Amino acid sequence: MENRNFTRVDFSGVAAIRHDDCVISGTVKNLSLQGFNSETSGPLPLNTPLKVAIRLSSNTFIYLNTQAIYFLGLYFGMKICKIDVGSFVLLRDIILSKCHDQMLLMHETYKMAHCIH
């Protein structure tokens, strides 16, 4: 957890996390272009593909393919594996609005290019 290489910002949002035929609700606490931390209403499998929708407004969502890579206390650390272009732009805009360092975020965007589809 201390090896983070991406700008992480505080964020409060609701997420629906799907694995197999189960949907678990989560509360996103912070996020980066690489992933996010979420408190969930139930357990999640580690290192298993998960589909996540983070609600930004009544009709705006960030859609992600992720993996839970660690569990610490009440929180799961989620790594982004795939993200569509529109969702990536929304995620990047949230982070930029809180950190204001465009050059740093551009560098981080290049690092995540392999995940954007």
Q: What is the pLDDT of residues 2-61, one digit of tens each?
A: 456 899 999 999 999 999 899 999 999 999 999 999 999 888 999 999 999 999 999 999
Residues 35/7, Cβ–Cβ less than 8 Å: no
Average pLDDT for 75-91: 97
Residues 34/51, Cβ–Cβ less than 8 Å: no
Phi, psi (deg, nearest 5) at residue 70: -160, 160
Entry pTM: 0.92
